[in-house]
Structure 1
Amino acid sequence: MATRSADCRAALATIFIAAVKSEDFMLAAARLLGVALMAQAGASAAAQGLPPATPTDIASGVRSCLAATGPKTIDTDKLQADGWHSASVSQEGKPVATSLRIFGKDKVLVTIDKDAKVPTCFVTAHLPDADTFNDVAFSIDHDLGVHGKTDQGEADTFYFFPQGHIVQLKKTGTAAAPSVRIGVGYRP
């Protein structure tokens, strides 16, 4: 088990540093109900290197992010207590300075930016096929006990409003390599 965790951490670090270095890695802002959610476009690219995750694994990541996301910060101790393994970012065996914190569990990535003005926890995962996106939305809907809302202007996006939080589920990746990115933010 320890070897699997170490292998997972090493793979996550390698995948994520490639995404950080790519031109596709950008931050994009979305505003809903006065809460800014920062979406990491490159995170879905990083998830492409992971095996496909199940809707249950992805929903577990959302639950962990909900528990860890507060009004001013993301409590990484809560993520680690929930079984998320911290990954270090390195290039050619040397640490790389970054404000991003990366965690892995099963086949799912959780990323946070410890310097972000609006604390947001991101869950990113590769899907086995495009049809699984609806299963992920259903699983999150069921786990949170609140129904997802769609915006006609945004294809393949659902919003959930559990008590004190906002959750944005977005289909990312390509038709051949579908992924999801879920932003979990605090809302007063």
Structure 2
Amino acid sequence: MKNTIYSKYVKRIIDILLSLVVIVLFFWLYLIVAVLVRVKLGSPVIFRQPRPGKDEKVFNLYKFRTMTDARDKDGNLLPDEDRLPEFGKKLRATSLDELPEFFNILKGDMSFVGPRPLLVKYLPLYNEEQRHRHDVRPGLTGWAQVNGRNLLSWEDRFEKDVFYVNHISFLMDLKIVFMTVAVVFRHNDINSATDATMEAFTGTKPKE
């Protein structure tokens, strides 16, 4: 990644200002979604999960809850697709479940644009090239999200993440933001072909 004035200073200033504006202007929406989640899905309203951020530093990602705690007769959680009700699907389709991530942006855990923060358990599975996705703050949206989102293979997703890290600029961030708006309104690529979210990453397959 090239350390430019934008990537080192301006990007963070923009993140702080815009996240504050969103939180203040749409606080009413936060309240409405929180009440609906509490009524339809129960507590806790906010889903918290450790995720690796810049330089692989772990932070707690905030989202509105979208799944139930439904379990089988042995007390084990059911598969994601069985715990994701219609209400949860609508929250994900509209990306309203991600509203609490603006607090992550304000805190400095995340940025508006960057590679999406994945699970901590994936850290040992990345190859040397893929690890560069953690050279920048993870984002609310990113180059992979506007070019296939959950329908991308893991290899394609990581390739696009690293491409962003190597080409970060104000114009690219602006392009990604506008493309994100289009993707959200089309409600495209929310789910993968075989899972309610994205298949688990098990490591990069060796090239034949």
TM-score under structure 2 length normalisation:
0.31
Structure with the bigger percentage of strand: 1
TM-score under structure 1 length normalisation:
0.33
Structure with the bigger percentage of helix: 2
Bigger Rg, structure 1 or 2: 2
